[in-house]
Amino acid sequence: MSRPPTTRESARACACSQSTVSNALRDAPRISGETRARIQTIARSMGWKANPLASAYMAHLRSTREPAYRATLAFVISNPDSPRVEDLPLYQKCNYAGARARAESQGYRIETIWQHEPGLTARNLAHILQTRGIPGLLIPSFVQPSDMFDAMDWDGFASVAIGHALPGLPIDRATFNYNRSVPMALRKLYELGYRRIAVILSDTYDQKVGHGWLYPLYYEQRQGSTRDWVKSCIVPGTSKD
């Protein structure tokens, strides 16, 4: 054959469907290795050769398609004064923006749930989530602590706490590595020309993060290169810190 075979011709020779041939020729994992090898061997004998330009184009085409909708996830708004994302502290607005962008890229949607909605309890929150078909929650650090989630039945949801929200509860957690981030921040400040740096923490926040800032900070303060320009200060805090 002077030209490459079509998928129809290859399918006829392989005694299988065109879609099976197409998947096998692009090494799709849904086709067994044995079947892929058989189809590729027959196709090569008929003059087929892999086209890297076509493969690259199809990969680009698949990556730019709108992902299929999978599910809606809930992002908990913990601000006691407002249910609006716009009124959250900057770091939580960044959490929300990042979660939303990543979710949408994977076919998910984000819906907000206000923790301080009048009358909201763990039981009716679970009912609301189940009724709306929401299988998972993203829970950032609380602007104001609450014991509502202590009574939640977590078995029915895929839940992730961001930072130090809900310590001790049986849910997954995403937070940063203090042992790496604190020295990195201090050295970056030094590179930018700062020579008198103070780290100020409240005692309640220090307890909340398990001395995550102080341990690496104290280590850095004992190093010859940073001993004279990094100072720490612990101040009294409140339950809202």
Q: Is the pTM of this model over 0.75?
A: no
Amino acid letter for position 221: Q
What is the Cα–Cα distance from 10 to 7, expressed in whole angstroms? 5
Please list, in sequence order, all residues whose beta carbon lies within 8 angstroms of the beta carbon of residue 104, skipping any fewer than 6 positions away. Answer: 67, 110
Concatenated DSSP letters for 8-37? HHHHHHHTS-HHHHHHHHTT-TTS-HHHHH
pLDDT, position 68: 80
pLDDT, position 194: 87
pLDDT, position 218: 83
What is the Cα–Cα distance from 61 to 55, expressed in whole angstroms? 10
Judge whether 68 and 50 are in contact, CB under 8 Å.
no
pLDDT, position 227: 59
Judge whether 162 and 139 are in contact, CB under 8 Å.
yes
pLDDT by residue, tens only, the chain of 241 residues: 567 888 888 889 999 888 888 888 888 878 888 898 999 899 888 888 776 666 665 666 566 666 788 899 999 998 889 999 999 888 889 999 999 999 998 889 999 999 999 989 998 999 999 999 999 999 987 756 677 888 888 888 899 988 877 777 888 888 878 888 888 888 888 889 888 888 888 888 888 777 888 888 888 777 766 556 778 888 887 655 4
Q: Are strands 136-139 and 108-114 parallel, antiparallel or unpaired?
A: unpaired
What is the Cα–Cα distance from 138 to 88, expressed in whole angstroms? 15
Query: What are 92-141's pLDDT values in tens digits?
Result: 899 999 999 999 988 899 999 999 999 899 989 999 999 999 999 999 87
CA gyration radius, the chain: 27
pLDDT, position 87: 93
Residue 64 half-sphere exposure, CB side, CA atoms within 13 Å?
Answer: 6
Which pair of structure tokens corresponds to residue 134? Answer: 């929401």
